[in-house]
Protein backbone atom coordinates (compact mmCIF):
# COMPACT_ATOMS: atom_id res chain seq x y z
CA UNK A 1 0.00 0.00 0.00
CA UNK A 2 3.06 2.24 0.22
CA UNK A 3 3.62 5.03 -2.30
CA UNK A 4 0.16 4.74 -3.85
CA UNK A 5 -0.76 7.69 -6.02
CA UNK A 6 -4.02 9.62 -5.72
CA UNK A 7 -5.08 8.05 -9.01
CA UNK A 8 -5.82 4.84 -7.08
CA UNK A 9 -8.63 6.65 -5.26
CA UNK A 10 -11.91 8.04 -6.54
CA UNK A 11 -12.67 11.76 -6.28
CA UNK A 12 -15.26 10.98 -3.62
CA UNK A 13 -12.86 8.89 -1.52
CA UNK A 14 -10.38 11.78 -1.52
CA UNK A 15 -13.08 14.33 -0.64
CA UNK A 16 -14.24 12.03 2.15
CA UNK A 17 -10.65 11.88 3.48
CA UNK A 18 -10.57 15.68 3.63
CA UNK A 19 -14.05 16.06 5.12
CA UNK A 20 -13.23 13.73 8.01
CA UNK A 21 -10.19 15.80 8.95
CA UNK A 22 -11.95 19.15 9.01
CA UNK A 23 -13.40 20.46 12.25
CA UNK A 24 -15.08 23.84 12.17
CA UNK A 25 -14.13 26.66 14.54
CA UNK A 26 -17.01 28.98 13.68
CA UNK A 27 -19.59 26.20 13.54
CA UNK A 28 -22.34 28.29 15.12
CA UNK A 29 -22.38 30.50 12.01
CA UNK A 30 -22.03 27.69 9.48
CA UNK A 31 -25.34 26.22 8.39
CA UNK A 32 -23.94 23.90 5.69
CA UNK A 33 -20.20 23.08 5.56
CA UNK A 34 -18.34 21.32 2.74
CA UNK A 35 -20.00 18.29 1.14
CA UNK A 36 -23.06 19.86 -0.49
CA UNK A 37 -23.22 21.86 -3.75
CA UNK A 38 -22.36 24.99 -1.75
CA UNK A 39 -21.57 26.02 1.80
CA UNK A 40 -23.99 28.25 3.69
CA UNK A 41 -23.28 30.60 6.59
CA UNK A 42 -25.11 33.31 8.48
CA UNK A 43 -24.42 36.91 7.49
CA UNK A 44 -27.31 39.01 8.73
CA UNK A 45 -30.82 38.68 10.09
CA UNK A 46 -32.41 38.78 6.65
CA UNK A 47 -30.19 36.53 4.58
CA UNK A 48 -27.66 33.69 4.59
CA UNK A 49 -24.61 33.61 2.31
CA UNK A 50 -24.07 30.68 -0.04
CA UNK A 51 -20.65 30.03 -1.57
CA UNK A 52 -18.98 27.41 -3.76
CA UNK A 53 -15.73 26.88 -5.66
CA UNK A 54 -15.48 24.98 -8.95
CA UNK A 55 -12.62 24.23 -11.35
CA UNK A 56 -12.72 23.62 -15.09
CA UNK A 57 -9.83 21.96 -16.87
CA UNK A 58 -8.91 22.03 -20.55
CA UNK A 59 -9.45 18.67 -22.26
CA UNK A 60 -11.58 17.47 -19.34
CA UNK A 61 -14.31 20.09 -19.02
CA UNK A 62 -13.89 21.36 -22.54
CA UNK A 63 -12.03 20.23 -25.60
CA UNK A 64 -9.36 22.51 -26.97
CA UNK A 65 -10.05 23.50 -30.58
CA UNK A 66 -13.62 22.12 -30.42
CA UNK A 67 -15.14 24.93 -28.42
CA UNK A 68 -14.65 28.66 -28.73
CA UNK A 69 -13.45 30.50 -25.66
CA UNK A 70 -16.52 32.72 -25.45
CA UNK A 71 -18.62 29.58 -24.87
CA UNK A 72 -16.06 28.30 -22.34
CA UNK A 73 -16.33 31.57 -20.41
CA UNK A 74 -20.12 31.32 -20.53
CA UNK A 75 -20.20 27.69 -19.44
CA UNK A 76 -17.75 27.96 -16.53
CA UNK A 77 -19.68 30.88 -15.01
CA UNK A 78 -23.01 29.07 -15.41
CA UNK A 79 -21.61 25.84 -13.99
CA UNK A 80 -20.24 27.69 -10.94
CA UNK A 81 -23.48 29.58 -10.33
CA UNK A 82 -25.48 26.36 -10.80
CA UNK A 83 -24.04 25.20 -7.45
CA UNK A 84 -25.74 28.19 -5.82
CA UNK A 85 -29.02 27.47 -7.62
CA UNK A 86 -28.93 23.90 -6.26
CA UNK A 87 -29.22 25.35 -2.73
CA UNK A 88 -32.03 27.76 -3.69
CA UNK A 89 -29.78 30.80 -3.76
CA UNK A 90 -29.60 33.84 -6.00
CA UNK A 91 -26.10 34.59 -7.33
CA UNK A 92 -24.45 37.88 -6.39
CA UNK A 93 -20.67 37.85 -6.93
CA UNK A 94 -17.94 35.70 -8.45
CA UNK A 95 -14.15 35.71 -8.34
CA UNK A 96 -12.28 34.01 -11.20
CA UNK A 97 -8.78 32.51 -11.17
CA UNK A 98 -7.49 31.93 -14.70
CA UNK A 99 -4.47 29.67 -15.03
CA UNK A 100 -3.62 30.20 -18.66
CA UNK A 101 -1.22 28.51 -21.04
CA UNK A 102 1.53 30.79 -22.39
CA UNK A 103 0.58 29.72 -25.90
CA UNK A 104 -3.03 30.89 -25.56
CA UNK A 105 -3.86 33.39 -28.29
CA UNK A 106 -4.63 36.90 -27.09
CA UNK A 107 -7.80 36.79 -29.21
CA UNK A 108 -8.90 33.66 -27.34
CA UNK A 109 -8.17 35.42 -24.05
CA UNK A 110 -10.47 38.27 -25.15
CA UNK A 111 -13.17 35.75 -26.13
CA UNK A 112 -12.90 34.06 -22.74
CA UNK A 113 -13.41 37.40 -20.96
CA UNK A 114 -16.32 38.17 -23.31
CA UNK A 115 -17.93 34.85 -22.31
CA UNK A 116 -17.47 35.60 -18.60
CA UNK A 117 -19.06 39.02 -19.02
CA UNK A 118 -21.95 37.80 -21.20
CA UNK A 119 -22.83 35.17 -18.60
CA UNK A 120 -22.56 37.51 -15.61
CA UNK A 121 -24.78 40.05 -17.41
CA UNK A 122 -27.48 37.45 -18.04
CA UNK A 123 -27.19 36.01 -14.51
CA UNK A 124 -27.10 39.51 -12.98
CA UNK A 125 -23.93 38.84 -10.98
CA UNK A 126 -20.69 40.79 -10.67
CA UNK A 127 -17.06 39.76 -11.15
CA UNK A 128 -15.42 41.32 -8.08
CA UNK A 129 -11.99 39.74 -8.15
CA UNK A 130 -9.62 37.50 -10.02
CA UNK A 131 -6.17 36.07 -10.43
CA UNK A 132 -3.98 35.31 -13.44
CA UNK A 133 -1.20 32.72 -13.50
CA UNK A 134 0.69 30.95 -16.22
CA UNK A 135 0.42 27.17 -16.34
CA UNK A 136 1.07 24.18 -18.59
CA UNK A 137 -2.63 23.67 -19.16
CA UNK A 138 -5.47 26.12 -18.94
CA UNK A 139 -7.74 25.80 -15.91
CA UNK A 140 -10.42 28.18 -14.74
CA UNK A 141 -11.52 28.25 -11.11
CA UNK A 142 -14.56 30.25 -10.09
CA UNK A 143 -15.79 30.99 -6.59
CA UNK A 144 -19.44 32.01 -6.56
CA UNK A 145 -21.15 33.89 -3.74
CA UNK A 146 -24.92 34.19 -3.48
CA UNK A 147 -27.61 34.58 -0.90
CA UNK A 148 -30.92 33.24 0.26
CA UNK A 149 -33.41 35.65 1.70
CA UNK A 150 -34.45 34.16 5.04
CA UNK A 151 -38.02 35.37 4.74
CA UNK A 152 -38.66 34.11 1.24
CA UNK A 153 -36.89 30.83 1.98
CA UNK A 154 -38.79 30.55 5.27
CA UNK A 155 -35.48 29.64 6.91
CA UNK A 156 -34.90 26.74 4.53
CA UNK A 157 -32.13 25.76 2.19
CA UNK A 158 -32.25 23.01 -0.43
CA UNK A 159 -29.82 20.35 0.77
CA UNK A 160 -28.73 16.97 -0.52
CA UNK A 161 -29.46 15.49 2.88
CA UNK A 162 -33.15 16.45 3.14
CA UNK A 163 -34.86 13.76 1.03
CA UNK A 164 -37.69 12.10 2.96
CA UNK A 165 -39.35 8.72 2.46
CA UNK A 166 -42.53 9.27 0.45
CA UNK A 167 -41.04 12.18 -1.52
CA UNK A 168 -41.37 12.17 -5.28
CA UNK A 169 -38.13 12.52 -7.25
CA UNK A 170 -38.34 15.17 -9.97
CA UNK A 171 -36.31 17.02 -12.60
CA UNK A 172 -36.59 20.70 -13.52
CA UNK A 173 -36.10 19.92 -17.22
CA UNK A 174 -35.05 17.40 -19.85
CA UNK A 175 -31.68 15.72 -19.45
CA UNK A 176 -29.07 14.01 -21.61
CA UNK A 177 -29.04 16.82 -24.18
CA UNK A 178 -25.64 18.23 -23.30
CA UNK A 179 -24.10 14.75 -23.24
CA UNK A 180 -25.70 14.03 -26.62
CA UNK A 181 -24.16 17.24 -27.96
CA UNK A 182 -20.76 16.20 -26.62
CA UNK A 183 -21.21 12.75 -28.16
CA UNK A 184 -22.06 14.22 -31.57
CA UNK A 185 -18.96 16.40 -31.46
CA UNK A 186 -16.60 13.60 -30.50
CA UNK A 187 -18.01 10.91 -32.77
CA UNK A 188 -16.85 11.26 -36.36
CA UNK A 189 -19.14 8.51 -37.64
CA UNK A 190 -22.26 10.52 -36.88
CA UNK A 191 -22.91 12.95 -39.69
CA UNK A 192 -25.82 14.83 -38.11
CA UNK A 193 -24.39 17.59 -35.94
CA UNK A 194 -27.61 18.85 -34.38
CA UNK A 195 -27.08 22.47 -33.38
CA UNK A 196 -29.55 22.49 -30.51
CA UNK A 197 -27.95 19.51 -28.77
CA UNK A 198 -24.46 20.96 -29.26
CA UNK A 199 -25.68 24.27 -27.87
CA UNK A 200 -26.96 22.49 -24.75
CA UNK A 201 -23.40 21.22 -24.23
CA UNK A 202 -21.65 24.51 -25.01
CA UNK A 203 -24.03 27.01 -23.48
CA UNK A 204 -25.86 25.57 -20.45
CA UNK A 205 -28.01 27.78 -18.26
CA UNK A 206 -27.80 27.69 -14.47
CA UNK A 207 -31.39 27.39 -13.21
CA UNK A 208 -31.23 30.49 -11.03
CA UNK A 209 -34.52 31.49 -12.69
CA UNK A 210 -36.39 28.92 -10.59
CA UNK A 211 -34.08 28.16 -7.63
CA UNK A 212 -35.46 30.64 -5.12
CA UNK A 213 -39.03 30.03 -6.30
CA UNK A 214 -38.60 26.29 -5.68
CA UNK A 215 -37.47 27.08 -2.14
CA UNK A 216 -40.53 29.29 -1.66
CA UNK A 217 -42.76 26.43 -2.79
CA UNK A 218 -41.27 24.23 -0.07
CA UNK A 219 -38.60 22.18 -1.90
CA UNK A 220 -36.06 21.09 0.72
CA UNK A 221 -33.77 18.77 -1.23
CA UNK A 222 -31.98 19.43 -4.53
CA UNK A 223 -28.72 18.96 -6.45
CA UNK A 224 -27.64 20.03 -9.92
CA UNK A 225 -27.21 17.34 -12.57
CA UNK A 226 -23.62 18.12 -13.46
CA UNK A 227 -22.26 14.62 -12.83
CA UNK A 228 -25.18 12.67 -14.31
CA UNK A 229 -28.61 11.66 -12.97
CA UNK A 230 -27.52 8.38 -11.35
CA UNK A 231 -24.41 9.85 -9.75
CA UNK A 232 -26.22 12.91 -8.44
CA UNK A 233 -29.23 10.93 -7.21
CA UNK A 234 -26.82 8.66 -5.34
CA UNK A 235 -25.41 11.78 -3.62
CA UNK A 236 -28.94 12.71 -2.49
CA UNK A 237 -29.75 9.17 -1.36
CA UNK A 238 -26.48 8.61 0.51
CA UNK A 239 -26.59 12.00 2.21
CA UNK A 240 -30.27 11.51 3.12
CA UNK A 241 -29.78 7.83 4.13
CA UNK A 242 -32.57 6.66 1.83
CA UNK A 243 -33.14 4.33 -1.14
CA UNK A 244 -34.90 5.31 -4.35
CA UNK A 245 -36.65 3.91 -7.41
CA UNK A 246 -36.64 5.53 -10.84
CA UNK A 247 -39.17 4.84 -13.59
CA UNK A 248 -36.91 4.76 -16.63
CA UNK A 249 -39.64 5.67 -19.11
CA UNK A 250 -40.49 8.81 -17.12
CA UNK A 251 -37.01 10.27 -17.58
CA UNK A 252 -37.49 13.29 -19.87
CA UNK A 253 -35.12 12.94 -22.83
CA UNK A 254 -34.62 15.19 -25.84
CA UNK A 255 -36.49 13.91 -28.91
CA UNK A 256 -33.58 14.86 -31.14
CA UNK A 257 -31.21 12.81 -29.01
CA UNK A 258 -33.45 9.71 -29.44
CA UNK A 259 -33.89 10.41 -33.15
CA UNK A 260 -30.19 10.72 -33.88
CA UNK A 261 -28.64 8.32 -31.35
CA UNK A 262 -31.41 5.80 -30.75
CA UNK A 263 -33.38 5.19 -27.55
CA UNK A 264 -30.74 3.11 -25.76
CA UNK A 265 -27.90 5.59 -26.23
CA UNK A 266 -30.20 8.52 -25.39
CA UNK A 267 -31.12 6.82 -22.09
CA UNK A 268 -27.50 6.01 -21.35
CA UNK A 269 -26.57 9.67 -21.82
CA UNK A 270 -29.61 10.78 -19.82
CA UNK A 271 -28.71 8.51 -16.91
CA UNK A 272 -24.95 9.03 -16.83
CA UNK A 273 -23.94 11.81 -19.23
CA UNK A 274 -24.06 14.82 -16.91
CA UNK A 275 -23.46 18.50 -17.65
CA UNK A 276 -27.20 19.22 -17.88
CA UNK A 277 -27.26 21.74 -15.01
CA UNK A 278 -30.95 21.02 -14.48
CA UNK A 279 -32.03 20.60 -10.87
CA UNK A 280 -32.83 17.14 -9.51
CA UNK A 281 -35.04 17.46 -6.44
CA UNK A 282 -37.35 15.59 -4.11
CA UNK A 283 -40.64 16.94 -2.79
CA UNK A 284 -43.90 15.84 -1.20
CA UNK A 285 -47.26 16.07 -3.00
CA UNK A 286 -48.18 19.41 -1.39
CA UNK A 287 -44.95 21.00 -2.63
CA UNK A 288 -45.50 19.61 -6.14
CA UNK A 289 -48.94 21.23 -6.15
CA UNK A 290 -47.33 24.54 -5.09
CA UNK A 291 -44.77 24.26 -7.90
CA UNK A 292 -47.57 23.73 -10.44
CA UNK A 293 -49.49 26.71 -9.06
CA UNK A 294 -46.38 28.82 -9.53
CA UNK A 295 -45.93 27.55 -13.09
CA UNK A 296 -42.61 25.88 -12.41
CA UNK A 297 -42.28 23.02 -14.89
CA UNK A 298 -40.99 19.66 -13.65
CA UNK A 299 -41.00 15.96 -14.50
CA UNK A 300 -41.65 13.34 -11.79
CA UNK A 301 -39.32 10.38 -12.41
CA UNK A 302 -39.45 8.28 -9.25
CA UNK A 303 -39.85 7.89 -5.50
CA UNK A 304 -37.85 7.95 -2.30
CA UNK A 305 -38.97 4.57 -1.00
CA UNK A 306 -37.12 3.44 2.07
CA UNK A 307 -34.39 3.96 4.66
CA UNK A 308 -31.00 3.09 3.21
CA UNK A 309 -30.77 -0.71 3.45
CA UNK A 310 -27.09 -1.27 2.72
CA UNK A 311 -24.45 0.19 4.96
CA UNK A 312 -21.97 1.07 2.26
CA UNK A 313 -24.24 2.88 -0.12
CA UNK A 314 -27.86 3.62 -1.00
CA UNK A 315 -29.73 1.43 -3.46
CA UNK A 316 -31.21 3.06 -6.52
CA UNK A 317 -33.51 0.78 -8.49
CA UNK A 318 -34.27 1.50 -12.09
CA UNK A 319 -37.45 0.02 -13.52
CA UNK A 320 -38.87 0.05 -17.03
CA UNK A 321 -42.25 -1.28 -15.86
CA UNK A 322 -41.20 -4.91 -16.38
CA UNK A 323 -37.67 -5.36 -15.11
CA UNK A 324 -35.95 -3.81 -12.10
CA UNK A 325 -32.23 -3.19 -12.31
CA UNK A 326 -30.61 -2.81 -8.90
CA UNK A 327 -27.84 -0.27 -8.86
CA UNK A 328 -25.99 -0.33 -5.59
CA UNK A 329 -23.89 2.71 -6.38
CA UNK A 330 -24.67 5.44 -8.90
CA UNK A 331 -22.44 5.41 -11.92
CA UNK A 332 -21.76 8.91 -13.12
CA UNK A 333 -18.91 11.24 -13.68
CA UNK A 334 -16.08 10.61 -11.25
CA UNK A 335 -13.44 13.20 -12.05
CA UNK A 336 -10.58 10.93 -11.09
CA UNK A 337 -11.50 7.63 -12.63
CA UNK A 338 -13.76 8.07 -15.63
CA UNK A 339 -11.68 10.59 -17.50
CA UNK A 340 -9.03 9.97 -20.07
CA–CA separation, 25 vs 245, rounded Å?
A: 39
We find the least distance from the C-beta atom of residue 282 to a second copy, in angstroms, to be: 23
| Choice between 142 and 198, CB closer to a second copy | 142
| Choice between 31 and 198, CB closer to a second copy | 31
What does residue 92 show for φ and ψ, rounded to 5 degrees?
A: -125, -55
Residues 6 or more apart whose CB falls under 8 angstroms from that of 101 comprise: 58, 134, 135, 136, 137, 138
Q: Does 41 bind a second copy (CB under 8 A)?
A: yes
The torsion angle over the Cα atoms of residues 284, 287, 292 and 298, rounded to 10 degrees, is -50
We find the least distance from the C-beta atom of residue 123 to a second copy, in angstroms, to be: 10
> Which span (38-46, 70-78, 161-169, 176-184) binds a second copy, by CB under 8 A?
38-46
Nearest to 317 by CA among 248, 228, 241: 248
CA 203, 207, 208, 210 torsion-angle sign: positive
Q: Does 264 bind a second copy (CB under 8 A)?
A: no
Within 52-81, which residues bind a second copy (CB under 8 A)? 52-57, 60
CA–CA separation, 95 vs 79, rounded Å?
A: 14
We find the least distance from the C-beta atom of residue 34 to a second copy, in angstroms, to be: 5
| Choice between 133 and 189, CB closer to a second copy | 133
Q: Does 141 bind a second copy (CB under 8 A)?
A: yes
Q: Does 4 bind a second copy (CB under 8 A)?
A: yes
Select the residue interacting with a second copy from 135, 186, 196, 286 (CB under 8 A): 135
Select the residue interacting with a second copy from 28, 65, 133, 191 (CB under 8 A): 133
Select the residue interacting with a second copy from 63, 68, 75, 124 (CB under 8 A): 124
Q: Per-residue DSSP letters for 180-206?
A: HHHHHHH-TT-----HHHHHHHHS---
Amino acid sequence: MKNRTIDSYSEFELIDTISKKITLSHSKNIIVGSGDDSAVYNTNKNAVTVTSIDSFVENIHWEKDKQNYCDIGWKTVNAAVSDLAAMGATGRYITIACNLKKSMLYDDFLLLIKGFIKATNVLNIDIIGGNLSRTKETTITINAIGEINKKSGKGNIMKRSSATIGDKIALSGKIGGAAAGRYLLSNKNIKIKNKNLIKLFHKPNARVDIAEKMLNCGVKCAIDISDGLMQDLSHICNDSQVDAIIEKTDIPLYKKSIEILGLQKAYELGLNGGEDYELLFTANQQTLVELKKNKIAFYVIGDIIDRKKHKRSSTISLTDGEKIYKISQGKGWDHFQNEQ
